[in-house]
Structure 1
Amino acid sequence: MIKNSLTCLSGALNYAVQPCKYIKYNPCDYVKIPKIPVDKNAQTKTDYILSLDEWETILARFAGTHFYLPLMSGFYAGLRLGESYGIDLLEDVDFENSTLSVNHQMQMQNKNWVLCNPKFDSFRTIKIGPELLNALKKEVTSRKKNMLKYGPYYLKTYLADDGTITQARADIIVPYKEIWPAAVKESGELTTTDTFKYCVRVIHDSLNNPLFHHHCLRHTHGTILAENGAWPRTVMERLGHKDIKTTLERYVFNTEKLQSDAVDIFEKAVR
């Protein structure tokens, strides 16, 4: 953030020098950003990767809840939190071809929940495996049953032309496009990225896992792919990064398995 702020200010002052000629030189030319000490605890949480045992414990705890699909889509598809909540079951899932399209992310804007473009406009369609596909199928089936159960009292979700999300009872006609968000309560009530904070608190306190955050699911997804030989370009496109540098520096961590594999590769090569 500090580097970006300096870049913006320096660019503005360069413009003031030439062509505007308001000032003679750019004072930012002499600015150096000091080295900021790394908080070891914060770095540990940022780089945290789930073990499979931890993942199974979390999954068992939230099976059958509205937190299940945001967890599954983070782990099995590497989606960001906002992208997980931005899934529209009606349009974004192709059950026949086993693909998931990332077309939106959910955000709070001007005190309203909206569906906007994914980060960096990283629209993408990715292949998904049977675990996530079956979870999505079960949610669609469950959603239809709940609509029949609640009848006119079921809360349907609609997307206005400006991207604003609104809800209304099933017996009320709304002149907007109907969507099926991936994470709603039994009655159809919308849940949001803010709602997910409760899930995180339970994992921290009840499951004794203080390092967990939704983004670690994305870290874990990318690292498992790297550990098992996925091509970096494929990982980059799957995660929706704007360049390969982000994938390699932030999401493909130098795990013990990767280090061991490097040794094995070298030993085989010299033999």
Structure 2
Amino acid sequence: MAGHIKQDKKTKKWLFTIEAGKDAKGNRKRRIRKGFKNKTEAKNAMAIAIAEFQKEEVHSEDKQETITVGDFLDYWLKSYAETNTVHNTFKAYERIIRVHLKPALGNIKINELKVRDVQQYYSKKVRTENTVENNEGEGRLSKQTVLHHHRVLNKALNDALDWEFVDKNVAKRAKPPRPDKAKFTTYTPEELNLLLKSASGSVLYFPIITAAAHTGARVGELRALTWGDIDFNNRKIFITKSAYDKKGEGVKIKNAPKNGQNRAISMGKRLVELFQRHKDNYEKKKALLGPTFNPNDLVFYNTKGNYLDVRDLARAYKRAVKEVHLSDSRFHDLRHSHATILLQQNVHPKVVSERLGHTKVSITLDLYSHVNPLLQDSAAKAFDDAF
């Protein structure tokens, strides 16, 4: 079963077509709905229509009593996830279902799935300190990973409930594992200076490493940054999109950051000066190599003027860390260092949250709870100073 969305050239309205092969008489099974105001409205309506279409087929073939969890999850991927999530999210869902959920729960009839089945699945999957890896190097999974499995299963079974495949969502009553606190490495301002000095030897990667340290932006947001996103007069960086890699198709751009909300990040004097020097160098190179160089007007680009490769960036970052004998860290940890330093400097958590692009300030406070003792000491001293 396949669905297609397009815009009517005459009416400018959007429509979808669902093709479901042929019936027993050889007639095409097709449904068309028109008159949607935008593509998103048409996409959402198509997902519901596909679900209803397949539900009808299940009823017509009297399969309701035999459809398994695995059958439904496959159908859910096609009818919902494939058309309503970005590529990387869909691939993550597909892998969780194919590698984990289907082998463990797939053969159970969906209307016979019990809370205890789901709970047992979580218990078996969670890695413990005494877990021994098998011959293929595959041990049990982290609590955070199993929580992701729960979210996928819970969403799928919620849709199964809405589409009347089941009478209740048993995943809602199961208790997924509570993840341990995220572990990451943060650097002091002195250590960051050492790292940036080490990275300065790389003309290609120094600018993006410095920008990450000074803004806390995600790697996908930085890879997608164009010169039009930099406002030198007002010292702002506008985060409006994110780059990701799609297998077989190269780099794709999602026209929104991770949380779907655009944001502006104020730049300090040092970062503004870096960007000005970097742009001067870029314009000289562009004049020398011609208009075909860096056609996307990227701020950070490789030697051919294309998107930076995340693996090459990670290797360059690791080299810079190792050269100055700092504790091992990932490129993403620059984001954590940025937030930690700001909080230690008594910058309001709401401001830090906005710079990072968190949807709620509570996420920031929970993630960087290791800073709280220092903030408590500062608060006590501030109260004393008031007297």
**TM norm structure 1:** 0.75
Cα distance per residue 1:33-78 (max 9 Å; x no partner): 3466x59xxx5xx332111222112111222512112112211111
Larger of the two Rg values belongs to structure:
2
CA distance in 2, matches of 1:18, 1:32: 22
Considering only aligned residues, what root-mean-square deviation do their CA atoms show, in Å? 2.9
- Which of residues 347, 350, 363 is equivalent to 1:233? 350
Contact 1:146 1:186 (C-alpha < 8 Å) held by counterparts: no
Cα gap change, 1:25/1:133 in structure 2, threshold over 3 Å: closer, same or farther?
A: closer
Please name the residue that 2:203 is paired with.
Answer: 65
Aligned length: 240
CA shift for structure 1 position 238: 1.3
Contact 1:227 1:257 (C-alpha < 8 Å) held by counterparts: yes
Cα distance per residue 1:177-228 (max 9 Å; x no partner): xx32222245635423222112233034333234221222111221222222
**Larger RCO: Structure 1 or Structure 2 (Cα < 8 Å, ≥ 6 residues apart)?**
1
CA shift for structure 1 position 8: 4.1
Please name the residue that 2:320 is paired with.
Answer: 203
Please name the residue that 1:81 is paired with.
Answer: 219
CA distance in 1, matches of 2:222, 2:270: 16
Moved more, 93-102 or 53-62: 53-62
Please name the residue that 1:9 is paired with.
Answer: 153
Cα gap change, 1:256/1:56 in structure 2, threshold over 3 Å: closer, same or farther?
A: farther
Please name the residue that 2:237 is paired with.
Answer: 100
Identity of aligned residues (%): 20
**TM norm structure 2:** 0.55
Please name the residue that 2:246 is paired with.
Answer: 109
Map 1:182-193 → 2, pairs under 5 A = 182-185=299-302, 188=305, 190-193=307-310
Contact 2:196 2:206 (C-alpha < 8 Å) held by counterparts: yes
CA distance in 2, matches of 1:54, 1:2: 35
Cα gap change, 1:87/1:266 in structure 2, threshold over 3 Å: closer, same or farther?
A: same
Query: Are 1:219 and 2:357 counterparts?
Result: no
Contact 1:49 1:216 (C-alpha < 8 Å) held by counterparts: yes
CA shift for structure 1 position 98: 1.0
Contact 1:146 1:187 (C-alpha < 8 Å) held by counterparts: no
Query: Are 1:49 and 2:186 counterparts?
Result: yes
Please name the residue that 2:363 is paired with.
Answer: 246
- Which of residues 248, 259, 264 is equivalent to 1:125? 264
